[in-house]
Amino acid sequence: MRVLVTGADGFIGRALARVLRARGIAWKPASRSTVGEIGPETDWCTVLQGCDRIVHLANVAHARGISEARLRTVNVEGTRRLAEQSAASGVDRFVYLSSAKAATPDDGYSAAKQAAEQALACVAGLARVVLRPPLVYGPGVKANFLALLRAVDGGWPLPLASVRNRRSLVYVGNLVDAIIRCLEAPEAVARTYFVTDGEPVSTPQLVRTLASQLGRPAHLFALPTALLEAAGTLVGRNDTVRRLTRSLEVDDSAIRRELGWAPPFTFEEGIRLTCEWYRTQRTQPS
C-alpha cells in the first residue's frame, strides 16, 4: 500500500503523516507546489503514479471572505477531478474527509462538502469511503478551539454556564486512526461514517475539562442562550457563538460495528495531550 495524502501540510495531514511514518506505511504528499491550484482542471496524473490509496484532506475552509463559488471550485470540482483521475489510474481506495455537517448543511462550507460526497458517488469505478468528523481538536489545532484554549488559560469570564447543549468531538489521533482503518478495511468501501471520541459533551463541560488540564479555574457565569446568540449576531459572530451554544451530536456506531473500530484515545486523554501541546506553545518566545 502506498498512500497519497492531499493537504498533508495541514492540521490533520501532519498528524496523519506522523502515524503513517510510525507504522511504516509508504506515503507521499500532494501540495500546491506539486499540483498547483486545486480545481476542475488540476492534473493529478504525475503525483498519482505509484499510489494505490488516496486520503483527500485538502480543501478550502469556511471563513469570512471565502465565496461559495470558491468553495465549490476547490471542494467540489477539485474533489471530483481527483476522484476521476484516481479511478482512471487504478487507485483502489479513496478516503474523503467530509464533515459531520454535510448530513444537514447549514452554510456554504457544509453544502459544498455534501455536494462533494454526491460527486464522488457518481464517479464510476471509484472505491470511495467518506468520513464525517465533527469538530476536530488536538495538538496543532487552530481557529475557534485554539481561541477557547486561550480564553480559558487567560482566565476570561465566559458566559456559558447555562448552556445545555451536546456536541460530538473527535481528537485528531482518533480521526487519524479511523482514516487508516478505512484505508485498510475492505468492508469500508462505498460507506459513509461519522467518527467521534464517544459520548458528546456540553460546552461548560468542555471548558471545565480544559481548565482542569491547564491548571486554571473555570470562570463560567450564566447568561440566557438567546441573549448570547443575539449578541453574536449583533457583532457578526453568529456562527462562532452558535458553535458554543447549540448541539451537534452524531452517531458513530456504524464504523465501530462494521469495521470493529474504537478510538484509541479517550476524550480526557485527547484534551490532556492538546493542553500539553498548548502549554509548550504558550511558553515559546514569539
Q: Which residues are catalytic?
A: 109
β-strand 128-132 against 191-194: which pairing, if any?
A: parallel
Q: Where are the alpha helices (DSSP H) in the chain?
A: 11-22, 32-35, 45-48, 68-71, 79-89, 108-121, 143-153, 172-184, 203-214, 225-234, 238-245, 253-259, 267-283
Please give the angle made by the CA atoms of 108, 152 and 213, to the nearest 5 degrees.
110
Kindly calculate the radius of gyration of the chain based on its CA atoms and give it in whole angstroms.
19
**DSSP symbols for 193-248:** EE--SSS-B-HHHHHHHHHHHHT----B----HHHHHHHHHHTT-HHHHHHHHS-B
CA-based diameter of the chain, in Å? Answer: 57
Distance CA 269, CA 70 (A): 37
For 6, the enclosing helix (H) or strand (E) is strand 2-6
